Structure 1
Amino acid sequence: MAINEVQGVIARSKGAPVELVPILVPDPGAGEALVRVQACGVCHTDLHYREGAINDDFPFLLGHEAAGIVEKIGDGVSNVVPGDFVILAWRAPCGQCRSCVRGRPWYCFSSRNAEQKMTLADGSPVSPALGIGAFCDLTLVDALQAVKVDPAASPLAAGLIGCGIMAGLGAAINTGGVSRGDSVAVIGCGGVGNAAVAGAQLAGANIIIAVDIDDRKLDWAKGFGATTSVNSTQTDPVAAIRELTGGNGVNVAIEAVGNPTTYEQAFYARDHAGTVVLVGVPDPTMKIELPLIEVFGRGGSLKSSWYGDCLPTRDFPMLIDLYLQGRLNLDGFVSERITIDDVEAAFERMGRGEVLRSVVVM
């Protein structure tokens, strides 16, 4: 079996700057696909990997928000063929676990990944971020992770659906069940939060309130459909949200930060029997304390959204169609195009809140 040598971005140890090194990528085996990456977004999850906040299986081959072209397929693959334009998904339902058997594949407990390992030049294996590893010219995935979409779409925009856009938009539509005439608050307006704003607009929400501490992010949110904004450094966001909804609170409050303070704000900013959706990823050490009588008395739902509760084979093509129809502004999330050797600097710009998404163009 042939081995392909390409360049890839790895995190070698906790907190160390990323490195661009040779990566050895095997040709696909049974059920696998080799994908030539065209573009890959720089997601906060990649930074979590570099910082050791996911696990300690260093070195990591970073990058997972990607689109590209199928180059080769292994035996038994029927969902894609060489030449197909695909978005890479980090959920590929197995079809056999207890969740898939119950008809809920978006909660699959045994998502599929490539069986073969990509390695460093010395043969030591790398751990691909979210089972993808797409800061690399070629990457090896389970073929079911490669979701075919309309090739008319820009790879820069399409790749973002593979993680952040799907997480935020799905938090609003799939998890939160936002519907026509609803009122929605989105707390935290980075890439995921603004995708939730866009999702709420697509679903027909009447009031969409963006909340953040950065006026620049609030301006971005208005561009994606927020009807009003609240800078929570200048006013109490719960009081502001209630004032903007006739004293009632919102039907759906989406927390896209992953912090106990902002989660509590979302909890108290919702209407009676409203829904809270947590899509921001918290630090494992974080805890929250709420009066149990308030949990009981307010009713409604407290939900967590994992990957926007999506089914990639259903949702990715649909979102690309909306993009091509001009109804979903994916291009607006692309703050800058960068090269593969600029990932470390992109992490710094991300930390300063200067970008929604830096996108590596191969």
Structure 2
Amino acid sequence: MPQTVQGVVALAKSEPVQLVDIVIPDPGPGEAVVRVQACGVCHTDLHYREGGINDEFPFLLGHEAAGTVEAVGEGVTEVAPGDFVVLNWRAVCGECRACDRGEPWYCFATHNASQKMTLTDGTELSPALGIGAFAEKTLVAAGQCTKVDPEARAAAVGLLGCGVMAGIGAAINTGGVTRGKSVAVIGCGGVGAASIMGSAVAGASPIIAVDIDERKLAKARELGATHVVNSKDVDPVEAIREIVGGNGAEGVDVVIEAVGRPETWKQAFYARDLAGVLVLVGVPTPDMTLPDIPLLDVFGRGGALKSSWYGDCLPKRDFPMLVDLYQQGRLDLDAFVTEEIGIGDIEAAFEKMHHGDVLRSVVVL
């Protein structure tokens, strides 16, 4: 039987979110109902509320989540009721051209649940990133559920569902950061901080954190940055070059741009060493364009200019590994949980996000 639970919904553009009753259908073929234990408050949720993703209101917000599978539909074999899972928005299809060539982390036809969750009057909801986890329960495609160690703290490992995975993956998967490589991360919010942590776990050195907020730079040091640069006070490109200037280096091996702005992308471009890699993981707005850079500089510096989608992750490969590292004390996911809040506190969490007061507020149900 369909269930009525509480969920946080954005009914109209720029209006405060509301905690309302929503209807969760029984899972159909290939679907699962998950009882949500914890869900992080991500900038993407705010973008949905502000109409920055699309205008398919009303939205059921929330997507960085962990919980327990309650029921599965016909044909589901990868998870079963009782499994502890982290939700993801890359349920790969296995059949598209990316999957066919052995690169499922680029899957172009990822799955979501076929059925719709609704308001009690029957109005269909658009779940954020196909998940919608600011709710007591949610309906997802079974492939969006990744089994992990059930002893792990839900508030911490749920963050792998988006921002933390995006940052770690931008460093390790997209940027190819390995032992001995030098790294700079421009923008030390949640995603940038995760890039710093991922670079540290991979053995990179030096790791240079760049931001204009001293609080974020202090946190970056805690997470593994060996140097910090306040770009409000100095030219970050010159500062990075000075730090790595030995042996003729003109910059770092990998620069991760976690802001998503033309001016910081340009800084990242010139902060690379020759043949260095630039990874864009910050999300730009539709009006932004590439800065004016001579094409000869693009050719002359060599290397690679990349963007990172979800940290180029494959959830069934990456989530269990990262949760195991967390359980071993080698990956401090707890450091990203600034506060635990109730499901009715999301508007206040958005305000704290605006002021840079948190890495993540996490709703615990």
Q: Percent identity between the aligned chains? A: 68
Alignment-derived partner of residue 143 in structure 1: 142
Cα distance per residue 1:3-56 (max 9 Å; x no partner) = 110000011111111111111000101110000000000000001101111111
What pairs up with 1:1-362 in 2 under 5 angstroms?
2-246=1-245, 248-288=250-290, 289-362=292-365
Q: Distance in 2 between matches of 1:177 and 1:202?
A: 13
Cα shift at 1:145: 0.3
Cα shift at 1:248: 2.1
Q: How many pairs does the alignment contain?
A: 361
Q: TM-score, normalised by structure 1?
A: 0.99
Q: Distance in 1 between matches of 2:270 and 2:13?
A: 37
What is the identity, as a one-letter code, of the residue corresponding to 2:254? V
What is the identity, as a one-letter code, of the residue corresponding to 2:243? L
Cα shift at 1:291: 1.1
Q: Distance in 2 between matches of 1:360 and 1:25?
A: 20
Runs of 4+ in 1 over 6 A off after TM superposition: none
Cα shift at 1:139: 0.2
- Residue 34 of structure 1 aligns to a residue whose secondary structure is strand
What is the identity, as a one-letter code, of the residue corresponding to 2:266? E
**Alignment root-mean-square deviation, CA:** 0.6
Unmatched runs of 5 consecutive residues or more in structure 1: none
What is the identity, as a one-letter code, of the residue corresponding to 2:354? G
Q: TM-score, normalised by structure 2?
A: 0.98
- Residue 234 of structure 2 aligns to a residue whose secondary structure is coil
Cα distance per residue 1:210-232 (max 9 Å; x no partner) = 00000000011111100010000
Q: Distance in 2 between matches of 1:11 and 1:221?
A: 33
- Residue 340 of structure 1 aligns to a residue whose secondary structure is coil
Q: Distance in 2 between matches of 1:132 and 1:13?
A: 19
Q: Distance in 2 between matches of 1:209 and 1:124?
A: 48
What is the identity, as a one-letter code, of the residue corresponding to 2:287? T
What is the identity, as a one-letter code, of the residue corresponding to 1:346? A
Unmatched runs of 5 consecutive residues or more in structure 2: none
